Amino acid sequence: MNVEQILENEYKLHPQIIKVLLKKGISDLDLVKSLFQPTIENLLPPRAIPNMELALKEILKYASKETILIWGHDDLDGTTSTAILIKTLNMLESNSIYYIPKRNSEGHKLNKFGVDYAYENNIKLIICVDTGLSSYEEVEYANEKGISVIIADHHELPQQLPNAIIVNPRMGGSFPHISASLLSLKIAIGLLNLKFKYDINYIISNMPELIIYSALGIIADKVPMFSENKIIVDLAKELINRYSFPLFKIFSMITGQSPNLYSIIPTLSSIHSEGFRHIAVELLLSNDEMFIEEHFIKIYKKTKDTLSKLDQEVIRIKNENKRVKGYLLLDLRHIEPEYIGYIAGKIKEIYKVPVIAISADEINKIVGEIRAPWGYNMLDFLNSISDLLNSYGGHKLACGFSMDVENLYDFIEEVERYFSNYKKQDDNENYDLILDKFDDEIIQNIDNLRKLGVRFRILFKGNLKDIVSKIKYYPIIDPNQILSIYAPEDLNYIVVLAMEDGFKIEEIG
């Protein structure tokens, strides 16, 4: 039987639900298992990903005799990915170093400084984690200097791929929406298996911190929390209570909170690169409690102060923009570039429109972050203006870019042109499901799947009185009491987000 038949006959799913799951990446029988039985036994094998075998052999070729450079990305998914590979290469007794480019002055991708550094220090292998797919010219430059490049990146694949060994879950053999940290964990599992015949159970017993690092990256990067991502996060929640980790011990001592994956993320995410030293990576790798305590106290306090200031900035923007149509372009050059993504995300949640926030780096280049609601593809926009940009990349709803300040006015014109000509996608693209009646089978399917981490955005139209009367029997999240305030006969539609905690009322009209 094929996937559709398995889902229909064994899991009793409605054809419309099956269609949604296929679209969300549950495309083969192994992924069906990882969805419905999210246990570590159902994590897909690393070598199922195209090019993984080639990458593992390339790493082992250099691990015993050459220094390997890990080129990371300056966010928590990138720093946890870096820590996973450094820890694993240490197990292989490999001499490895890492470099994470400074967002303010270097951007995100591999750059010629890194290639030159590798060449001058006789480094023959660079592994890019959570970055690298847009580094076409830089990889060519590395190849010219005899340096091999592996790109372990989970972002959208560009039209033109660099001439490197590319390991990307979107190529197949994996849930396509895993984080970079989970991709790095798969590389670690593959390396330890190929070298020592160790399996995932060895890592759980002897290197549980790798599972913790991976889970932190998954949560921080806000990838879909089902299938393989859920497997790792659920396991990490068990391990954090089973073992003592120095970083979490200090976190608990300082905050008074029990060890918690979610609570520590804002502090670790607030740390930014110093190039060859990233305190987040050092904190993850360190067993020195004095070192961890010294740095964590300062960072924790600074993070609380910074988030307070950023939230005040969000309030200011909200007060200055009573009405927003189509999109919002924010000039945040008074804010450090590493914080504009946070602000853009908050403003996007308020107005439910794409938010483009720009700042300037240390050498006066424009750095931008875009956050958009469901249904948009802002990578398409960046692709259409790539001639104005120095670099760009990311996901459809969350992406970043950099450009010369001389191009700013042209950029603003292109933004205005894009949104003035933008044709909103039809409802089929904006919602997982459009229902004009309450279908008990479909809603029961959704209720079961949301508990496994699958989110559904549903547009209810039609007989809203019947829909409202029946949906109230399910766990409802309605903080604004919308269903109590408005009579169903006064409404044309209701938008509901089915999520792990329940059915959230998002919008009415």
* pLDDT tens column, 314-372: 999 999 998 888 899 999 999 998 899 999 999 999 998 999 999 988 777 899 999 99
Cβ atoms of 134 and 382 within 8 Å: the answer is no
Contact (Cβ atoms closer than 8 angstroms) between residue 129 and residue 72: yes
Q: What is the pLDDT of residues 363-409, one digit of tens each?
A: 778 999 999 988 888 999 999 999 999 888 888 899 999 999 999 99
236, pLDDT greater than 90: yes
Mean pLDDT, rounded, for 69-73: 97
At residue 247, the pLDDT reads 96
Which helix (H) or strand (E) segment is 503 a member of?
strand 502-508
Report the alpha-carbon distance of residue 96 to residue 257 in Å, rounded: 35
Q: Could you read off the pLDDT of 237-254 as tens digits, one per residue?
A: 999 999 999 999 999 999
CA dist list (Å): 370 to 59, 340, 358, 509: 35, 9, 9, 27
| Confidence tier at 114 by pLDDT (50, 70, 90) | very high
Exposure string for 323-344, b = 16+ CB within 10 A, e = fewer: eeeebbbbebbebbbbbbbbbb
Q: Which residues contact 244 (CB under 8 A, 6 or more apart)?
A: none
Delineate the domains of the chain, giving CATH numbers in brackets: 3-37 (no CATH), 46-241 (3.90.1640.30), 321-422 (3.10.310.30), 429-508 (no CATH)
For residue 485, pLDDT over 90 is answered with no
% of the chain residues with pLDDT over 70 = 99
pLDDT-wise least confident of 3-17, 52-66, 123-137, 424-438: 424-438
The contacts of residue 10 (CB under 8 Å, 6+ apart) are none
Please, is 140 exposed, middle or buried when counting C-beta atoms within 10 Å of its C-beta (0-12, 13-18, 19+)?
middle
Q: For strand 96-99 and strand 68-71, is the pairing parallel, antiparallel, or unpaired? A: parallel
What span, in angstroms and rounded, lies between the C-alpha atoms of 216 and 74?
Answer: 14
- DSSP code for 258: P
In tens, the pLDDT along 77-96 reads 999 999 999 999 999 999 99
21: pLDDT confidence band, cut at 50, 70 and 90?
very high
298 pLDDT higher than 90: yes
- Whether residue 278 is predicted with pLDDT greater than 80 in this model: the reply is yes
Sequence-distant (6+) residues with CB within 8 A of 29 are: 3, 6
Question: Can you tell me the mean pLDDT for 24-40?
Answer: 97
Instruction: Note the pTM of the prediction, 2 decimals.
Output: 0.92
Q: Classify residue 37 as exposed, middle or buried by CB count within 10 Å of its CB (0-12, 13-18, 19+).
A: exposed
Which pLDDT score, from 0 to 100, does residue 424 have? 61
List strands edge to edge, sheet with 165-167. Answer: 96-99, 68-71, 125-129, 148-152, 165-167
Binned at pLDDT 50, 70 and 90, residue 142 comes out as very high
Q: Is the dihedral of CA 436, 327, 222, 384 positive or negative?
A: positive
The string of pLDDT tens digits covering residues 398-456 is 999 999 999 999 999 999 999 988 766 555 678 999 998 888 999 999 999 999 999 99
Q: Give the pLDDT confidence score for residue 448 in this predicted structure.
A: 97
> Considering only CA atoms, which of 408, 396, 406 is closest in space to residue 368?
408
Q: What is the average pLDDT across 96-114?
A: 87
- Looking at every residue in the chain, the average pLDDT score rounds to 93
For range 193-201, the mean pLDDT: 97
CB 132 within 8 A of CB 109: yes
User: Whole-angstrom Cα distance, residue 369 to residue 341?
Assistant: 5
- List, as one string, the DSSP characters of 349-406: HHH-S-EEEEEE-TTS-EEEEEE--TT--HHHHHHHTGGG-SEEEE-SSEEEEEE-GG
Residue 174: predicted pLDDT: 97
Q: How far is CA 227 from CA 138, 290, 339, 456, in A?
A: 34, 38, 30, 15
* Confidence (pLDDT) at 428: 65
Select, from the ranges 226-235, 237-246, 458-467, the one with the highest average predicted confidence (pLDDT).
226-235
